[in-house]
Amino acid sequence: MRAINDDKARQLHDFDNAINVRMADNGRLRDKIKDIERCIVKECDDGRGLRIELGRTNDDIGRATSDIAVTDNLIGQRLADIDDLNKRINRRIVDIEDRRKDIRIAEGEIARLNDNIAKAKFDQDKLR
């Protein structure tokens, strides 16, 4: 049980790290978008190369927006994975509890059999 929980905890930690990396990527992408916006203002003020710069900026914004959408999708998948793992852990806990109950019942039956064997040996010794 502990090994299962430790494994699941490692997986959750890995998911958490992946989410943190994606969030950091989003921050860098937002900074990149702000840098692109500054470039647009400068080119407008200078009156040169606006059309080329706008094309590049739109491409960068499109890529950044796409990256953000992918990140959001991955976060959703990670959350679904975490939920699924929690459900599996809960099912395994119930299975373990059921097995422990079966073991306790079997141990009781073994104890009764051992008592019966001891009584039978005692009775057999009395008959000799």
Read off the pLDDT of residues 4-56 as tens digits, 9 standing for 90 and up: 777 777 887 888 888 888 888 888 888 888 888 888 777 667 766 667 777 88
Q: What is the pLDDT of residue 37?
A: 85
Q: How many residues does the chain have?
A: 128
Domain range for 121: 2-127
- CATH code at 120? 1.10.287
CA nearest neighbour of 29 among 70, 78, 76, 67 = 67
The yes-or-no verdict on residue 73 having pLDDT over 70 is yes
- For residues 109 and 115, give the distance between their C-alpha atoms in angstroms, rounded to a whole number: 10
Count of domains for the chain: 1
pTM, 2 dp? 0.41
The yes-or-no verdict on residue 2 having pLDDT over 80 is no
Mean pLDDT, residues 78-87 taken together = 93
